Amino acid sequence: MSATTSTVAVTIEVNGKARRLEVEARTLLVHLVREQLGLTGTHVGCDTSNCGACTVLLDSLAVKSCTVLAVQADGSTVETVESLAPPEGPLHPIQEGFRQEHGLQCGYCTPGMLMATKSLLADNADPDEDEIREALEGNLCRCTGYEMIVRSIRWAVEHPNGLEDPS
Amino acid sequence: MIPASFDYVRADSVEAALAALAEHGDEAKLLAGGHSLLPLMKLRLARPEVLVDIGRLDELRYVREDGERIRIGALTTIRQLEFDETLATHVPLLAATAHEVGDPQVRARGTIGGSLSHGDGASDLPAAALALGATLVVQGPAGTREVAAADFFLGFLESAVGPDEMVTEVVVPKCGSAGWSFQKFNRRAQDWAIVGVALVHGNGTGPTGIGLVNMAGHPIRARAAEAALAQGASPAEVGAVAAEGTEAPNDLHASAEYRRHLARVLVDRAAAQAAQAGPSSS
């Protein structure tokens, strides 16, 4: 058994890069990502595992990073919204879908929506509207009424290479 | 919101976890997926001095057949239950109930052992465990014991697991051709059930039982309705007695009276659905 301690050394692969960090045991994954790594694309919304704004992929599965301790992610891979596309590069097809179909207004929920969508499409490459709505039940948007978000995801499904696909 | 400070112990075996619990007693809590415990800790409703992380005990993550039963490791995630083909074939009520828990992100982290140990009367999985007549395998310093789900949920967030024990396995009977249904009434997609019903009707070939969600401070069976179901009463007759013996809570979502009404309606629907061929969740 490892020693009892309130700070713990963790190694987490974040967006393809191994990071070694010393964290307080009570540090939440979302705080590690935002404050220690400066990846502020992941948002804190409700902070109670309801709204999904903090959604990241942990070992490829969408999770709410406000309800995961950083120590629980030790040895795992984490993907945040910053992993979807390089700053100067073309948008990821899911991002492009949200642009084409106006899947955001204020944008607060968007990083979580994008990452939950990435997890959905890994499970199901061609989800219908009902499947999309069900997969996003853990992500709240207070602007769009979800209609455009569903259309955005269908756009991404139909354009797996983004704007490079012939329309 | 950040939990109060605690000491962190990562257990690399069940024995190590039990040793840590024995050492720290009431001050320690087990951490599996954390989706019941961490929200309480963030709100400072729980302030354990020591967290014993059992989340890496992969030997407790399995679903396997054992004769007429299915054995499920305590750390099996709710997502794994949802997509497991053995469960879909033999215990479809449990797979369908898993699909109704929370949302995909929550199901990716939450575990069956954690959900049952937490013993929240508003949770879905305990109702399915009660309906199925599940058995929980509990390990502690004195060895291993088995506790029937019917004897497991003792009070508000209180289960039969002692402070120095942990649930290691959940055993459920194969359901054969039993009819089943899971009914969940809530206002928004990911909400807790205002009232929920897990029902299985074996017709002499499998388990028969009814578990209720949010009809008391802890998970409970609808005993009068179970008796009616076993005696071959009609769905309407089964539903009519569904609220007997319950202690429906009054809260901002619903009055106790409305909950009793929902229990009667949902048990009626569940019994009707279970009586049809090819039942499905709703």
Q: With cut-offs at 50, 70 and 90, classify the pLDDT of residue B280.
A: very low
Answer yes or no: do A26 and B108 touch at CB < 8 A. Answer: no
What are the pLDDT digits (tens) for A34-77?
A: 999 999 999 999 999 999 999 999 999 999 999 999 999 999 99
**Nearest CA of chain A to the CA of B42: how many Å?**
8
User: For chain A, what is the mean pLDDT?
Assistant: 95
Say whether residue A120 is in contact with chain B using an 8 A CB cutoff: yes
Q: Is a pLDDT exceeding 90 seen at residue B194? A: yes
- Count of all residues that appear for chain B in the document: 282
Q: With cut-offs at 50, 70 and 90, classify the pLDDT of residue A1.
A: very low
Are A48 and A104 spatial neighbours (Cβ–Cβ below 8 Å)?
Answer: no
So what's the architecture of B179-275 in CATH?
2-Layer Sandwich (3.30)
What is the pLDDT at residue A166? 63
Q: How far is B9 from B236, CA to CA, in rounded Å?
A: 52
Give the residue with greater pLDDT, B191 vs B263: B263
Residue ranges matching CATH 3.30.465.10 in chain B: 60-173
Answer yes or no: do B31 and A69 touch at CB < 8 A. Answer: yes
SS3 A82: helix
**Nearest CA of chain A to the CA of B3: how many Å?**
6
ipTM value: 0.94
Q: Choose the closest CB to A68 out of B104, B109, B190.
A: B109
Residues of B in contact with A109 (CB under 8 A): none
Say whether residue A49 is in contact with chain B using an 8 A CB cutoff: yes
What are the pLDDT digits (tens) for A97-121?
A: 999 999 999 999 999 999 999 999 9
What percent of chain B lies above the pLDDT cut of 70? 98
What is the pLDDT at residue A3? 47
Residues of A in contact with B19 (CB under 8 A): 1
Q: With cut-offs at 50, 70 and 90, classify the pLDDT of residue A164.
A: confident
Residues of A in contact with B51 (CB under 8 A): 25
Edge-to-edge strand order for the sheet containing B220-221?
B179-185, B195-201, B209-213, B220-221
Answer yes or no: do B103 and A69 touch at CB < 8 A. Answer: no
Answer yes or no: do B34 and A47 touch at CB < 8 A. Answer: no
Say whether residue B4 is in contact with chain A using an 8 A CB cutoff: yes
Answer yes or no: do A67 and B34 touch at CB < 8 A. Answer: yes
Q: Which CATH superfamily is domain A93-159 in?
A: [2Fe-2S]-binding domain (1.10.150.120)
What is the pLDDT at residue B277? 57
SS3 A140: coil
Q: How far is A97 from B109, CA to CA, in rounded Å?
A: 28
Q: Is a pLDDT exceeding 90 seen at residue B191? A: no
Q: How far is A110 from A140, CA to CA, in rounded Å?
A: 10
Say whether residue B22 is in contact with chain A using an 8 A CB cutoff: no
| Most B-contacting residue of A24, A56, A68 (CB-CB within 10 A), to test interface | A68
What is the pLDDT at residue B188? 83
Q: Is a pLDDT exceeding 50 seen at residue B175? A: yes
The DSSP 8-state label assigned to residue A95 in this structure reads: H
Residues of B in contact with A25 (CB under 8 A): 5-8, 51
What is the pLDDT at residue B205? 80
In the predicted model, what is the mean pLDDT of residues B10-27? Answer: 96
Structure tokens at B131: 């309906």
Q: Is a pLDDT exceeding 50 seen at residue B89? A: yes
Answer yes or no: do B53 and A71 touch at CB < 8 A. Answer: yes
Residue B220's identity, in one-letter code, is I
The number of C-alpha atoms within 13 Å of B240 and in the hemisphere containing its C-beta is 6
Q: What is the chain B residue with the closest CA to A29?
A: B2
What are the pLDDT digits (tens) for B213-227?
A: 999 999 999 999 999
Answer yes or no: do B50 and A135 touch at CB < 8 A. Answer: no
So what's the architecture of A7-81 in CATH?
Roll (3.10)
Q: Is a pLDDT exceeding 60 seen at residue A4? A: no
CATH code of the domain occupying B7-53: 3.30.43.10
Say whether residue A119 is in contact with chain B using an 8 A CB cutoff: yes
Kindly list the domain boundaries of chain A, sorted by start residue. 7-81, 93-159
Edge-to-edge strand order for the sheet containing B28-31?
B7-10, B50-53, B28-31
Say whether residue B108 is in contact with chain A using an 8 A CB cutoff: yes
> DSSP string spanning chain B?
--PPP-EEEE-SSHHHHHHHHHHHGGGEEEESS-TTHHHHHHTTS---SEEEE-TT-GGG--EEEETTEEEEETT-BHHHHHH-HHHHHH-HHHHHHHHHSS-HHHHHH-BHHHHHHHT-TT-SHHHHHHHHT-EEEEEETTEEEEEEGGGTEEETTEES--TT-EEEEEEEE--TT-EEEEEEE-SSTTSPPSEEEEEEE-TTSS--EEEEESSSSS-EE-HHHHHHHHTT--HHHHHHTTTTT--PPP-SS--HHHHHHHHHHHHHHHHHHHHSSS----
Residue ranges matching CATH 3.30.43.10 in chain B: 7-53
| Most A-contacting residue of B8, B53, B281 (CB-CB within 10 A), to test interface | B8
Q: How far lies A63's CA from each of A57, A81, A117, A155, B62, in Å?
A: 6, 13, 12, 24, 21
Are B15 and B144 spatial neighbours (Cβ–Cβ below 8 Å)?
Answer: no
Say whether residue B15 is in contact with chain A using an 8 A CB cutoff: no
CATH 3.30.465.10 for domain B60-173, yes or no, is yes
Answer yes or no: do B106 and A52 touch at CB < 8 A. Answer: no
What are the pLDDT digits (tens) for B198-210?
A: 999 998 788 999 9
What is the pLDDT at residue A5? 56
Q: Choose the closest CB to A63 out of B5, B50, B108.
A: B108
Residues of A in contact with B28 (CB under 8 A): none
**Nearest CA of chain A to the CA of B217: how many Å?**
22
Are B177 and B205 spatial neighbours (Cβ–Cβ below 8 Å)?
Answer: yes
